[in-house]
Structure 1
Amino acid sequence: MSNTVKIVRFHKTGPAEVLQFDELPLPEPGPGEIRLRVKALGLNRAEIMFRNGQYLETPVHPAKNGYEAAGIIEATGPDVDGSWIGKTVSTVPGTFKLNDHGVYGEVAVVPLHGIAEYPSTLSYEQGASIWMQYLTAYGALIWLGQVAKGDFVVITAASSSVGIAAIEMVKVEGAISIAVTRTAAKKAELLKLGADHVIVTDEEDLVARVNEITLGKGARIVFDPIGGKILESLAASTASKGIIFEYGALAPEPTPYPLFTALAKHLTIRAYTLFELTPDPVFPKAKQYIFDHLALGAFRPIIDKTFPFAEIVEAHRYMESNAQIGKIVVTL
């Protein structure tokens, strides 16, 4: 085993090119930590925002990055049971900070509470494509939204990994998904992946189509990572006493609050992130729910494209192109 490893860090915020491979001493896990020999990395939009200095957490340079990795535990901290060594696990976003435990690298040191085993039928690539998407969807749709059979659920940015996870989850719960995408290029694939309806906003009026699909009732739940001006249309598409979950801020413009629509419909417009779920006592239940549905095949991580570790900059550029349907994975 080499005494040094390559860790991806960035020494200033900016475009994908700021990511660089730093040769560093092999890190040793401290109390409560394990060291993972990384086999695959799952990329997330949060990591692009972090690299750009636009995330909830401010980078401390030189900054690590990355929430999701799958691999084999090769070392444990002094107070961690050594029987973990040799086990295949993946890291769980929302259980650690990127500055402290970013996982882009040949190895990653993370807290023991920040890992989880996944069904052995999944590959490393699939194992790195689980927790961010399914936990994010679970927190809004199951835990907070209590989605039920027959509910209409509008899912924007539906071709993202979280969007696809939400489509699968809505189907499992017997509700009806209305996937929203900007261009027609992704419509057929979204229908193939299980969306009950797909609205192409470049070609169709969002509010009119939701009203048509729901027979004028509107959607009880809206699951949106975009914000910005679309929130006004989403509010107009929501049923009386419905709830809109805003779990991201992808829009480049400010997000106006649709006050009169919210007042008229008694809407709940609620900010939500995965960081609300992970410290809650419901977290173990959420992980078990996801594990069980993965094992049954009801949930199936969709991988759009894989890149070798040496091309992680290109992988970031590809994510920024918004061309993907599902997860972008980096392999080691």
Structure 2
Amino acid sequence: MNTNTVIKFHEVGEPEVLQYEQEAIKRPKNGEIRIKVEAIGVGFGECLYRRGWYIQETVLGGSLGNNAVGIVDAIGPDVTNVNVGQKISLIPSFQMNEFTVYSEYAIVPAFSAAPYFDSLSIEENASIWMQVSTAYGALIHYGNIDHSDTVLIHPSSGGVGIAAIQTAKKVGARVIATTRNPDKVNSLLDYGADHVIVTSTESISDGVNRITKDIGVSLVFNAMTGNVLNELVEVTKPGGRVIQYGGIGGEDTPLPFASVIGKGITIQGYTLYELTYEPSNLEKVISFVKEGVESGIYTANVGRVFDFSDMVNVHKYLEAGDMAGSVVVRVG
């Protein structure tokens, strides 16, 4: 096979701007590897990038993704950490405007190679690295939470939210999860949440105050935009922290200045990349994830599996905002 099917886009906009194209299979350069992609983990950030709203500059004529599972079928010069024929996962540690992962064959930096877990399925491997790494960076690397903390995860039913529940429980913290769908309560409890607030029937502030007896939480892990910070700061303890990692909703998010100052709250913007761009951090993330998988802390959280030919509908599903677990695309 001499051609490679890739998904690119030449204008920002709705999911329909994604196009399937054929190009010659390329050789990896110095420090790069080529993988035959078996599955791609996709996330909402890719929708933002496609619309030109992401933290990374959108490059037209480019592709998407940085989270996949595949078999190494070629290595460039000076690559020593993987071998041809080895099955690997990718840990998101490069910008989407640098490499093409929505493809049958992907060339990526060799340092992005992460272990493939034989105890997990291909889809589960594709769902774990981005999600757990994101949660680890916020809750452990920056948040430094432990058994004395109560953490609010908003929302909780997507792949990163579930990984955040499991990460917080790994270090013994108490977890308050949120969902707008009452049908998801039992699954969130099964993943380890101690309490679940159904935001379609109870406000976050009422729920947190009820659960904590008006004490509040020490850390909020939030992906929503809009006026949500008012309520999240209200339920955060004095001296606590709100970590904003996502942009679901795509709205302006006003800062409740008086409450933040009055309570000494830290509002921290966060992305996975500030963690994974640093090689010494990558070693810590990989060690943490391996320990969690091998001990059974991180269990399967794959929600929907799509075919590679259906990527437009994958993006529509992500933008509908009613995920239950991670979204994975099978290739080939």
Question: If the TM-score is normalised by the length of the shorter chain, which range does it land in?
Answer: over 0.9
1:81 maps to what in 2?
A: 80
- What secondary structure, in the 3-state scheme, does the structure 1 residue paired with 2:103 have? coil
Distance 1:16 1:30 in 2: 31
Residue of structure 2 aligned with 1:161, choices 156, 159, 162: 159
From 97, 100, 105, the equivalent of 2:98 is 100
Matched, 1:48 2:84: no
C-alpha distance in structure 2 between counterparts of 1:151 and 1:282, whole Å: 23
1:143 matched to which residue of 2? 141
Segments ≥4 residues shifted beyond 3 Å: none
CA spacing shift, 1:146–1:83, aligned 2, 3 Å: closer
Equivalent-residue separation in structure 2 for 1:252 and 1:80 (angstroms): 40
Q: Which residue of 1 aligns with 2:323?
A: 324
**1:188–1:83 CA distance, 2 compared to 1 (3 A):** closer
Consecutive unaligned residues of structure 2, counting only runs of 5 or more, are none
Amino acid in the other structure paired with 1:38: V
* Aligned counterparts of 1:60 and 1:248: Cα–Cα separation in 2: 20
Q: SS at 1:239's partner residue?
A: strand
Q: Percent identity?
A: 39
Q: Within 5 Å, which residues of 2 pair with 1:117-266? A: 117-266=115-264
Match of 2:284, SS state, is helix
Residue 158 of structure 1 aligns with an amino acid whose one-letter code is S
> Relative to structure 2, which stretch is displaced further, 67-76 or 204-213?
204-213
SS at the partner of 1:100? coil
For residue 75 of structure 1, report the CA deviation from its aligned partner. 0.2
- Counterpart amino acid of residue 25 in structure 1: A
Quick check: 2:175–2:193 contact (8 Å CA) kept in 1?
Answer: yes
Question: Distance between the aligned counterparts of 2:66 and 2:155, measured in 1?
Answer: 20
Paired residues of 1:76 and 1:82 also in contact (CA < 8 A): no
Q: CA deviation at 1:83?
A: 5.7
2-structure distance, mates of 1:272, 1:110: 24
Q: 1:3 to 1:267 in 2, by over 3 A?
A: same
How much has 1:127 moved relative to structure 2?
1.3
The one-character-per-residue Cα deviations of 1:288-318 (angstroms, maximum 9, x if unpaired) are 1111111221102311111111112122211
- Name the aligned partner's letter for residue 288 of structure 2: Y
- Taking the aligned partners of 2:257 and 2:228, their CA distance within structure 1 comes to 14
Matched with 2:35 is: 36
112, 115, 118: which is aligned to 2:113? 115
Conserved 8 A contact 1:151-1:176 = yes
**Structure 2 contact 94–277 (Cα < 8 Å) conserved:** no
The answer to whether the 8 A contact 1:72-1:86 is kept is yes
The answer (yes or no) to whether the contact 2:81–2:110 under 8 Å persists in 1 is no
The number of aligned residues is 330
**RMSD between aligned residues:** 1.4
1:282–1:80 CA distance, 2 compared to 1 (3 A)? closer
Are 1:118 and 1:291, in contact at CA under 8 Å, matched by a contact in 2? no
In the aligned structure 2, how far is the partner of 1:34 from the partner of 1:301?
A: 28
Over 3 Å counting, the alpha-carbon distance change for 1:189 and 1:82 in structure 2 is closer
Equivalent AA in structure 2 for residue 212 of structure 1: R
TM-score by length of 1: 0.96
Structure 1 unmatched ranges of 5 or more: none
For 2:175, what is the secondary structure of its paired residue? strand
**What code does the residue aligned with 1:262 have?**
V
Local SS of the residue matching 1:22? strand
Q: Give the Cα separation in 1 of the matches to 2:314 and 2:276.
A: 27
C-alpha displacement of 1:169 = 1.0
CA drift of 1:178 comes to 0.5
Q: What is the CA–CA distance in structure 2 between the aligned matches of 1:267 and 1:60, rounded to whole Å?
A: 36
Name the stretch that deviates more: 26-35 or 294-303.
Answer: 294-303
* 2:248 aligned counterpart, secondary structure: coil
User: Matches of 1:66 and 1:285 in 2, distance apart?
Assistant: 23
Report the AA paired with residue 18 of structure 2.
L
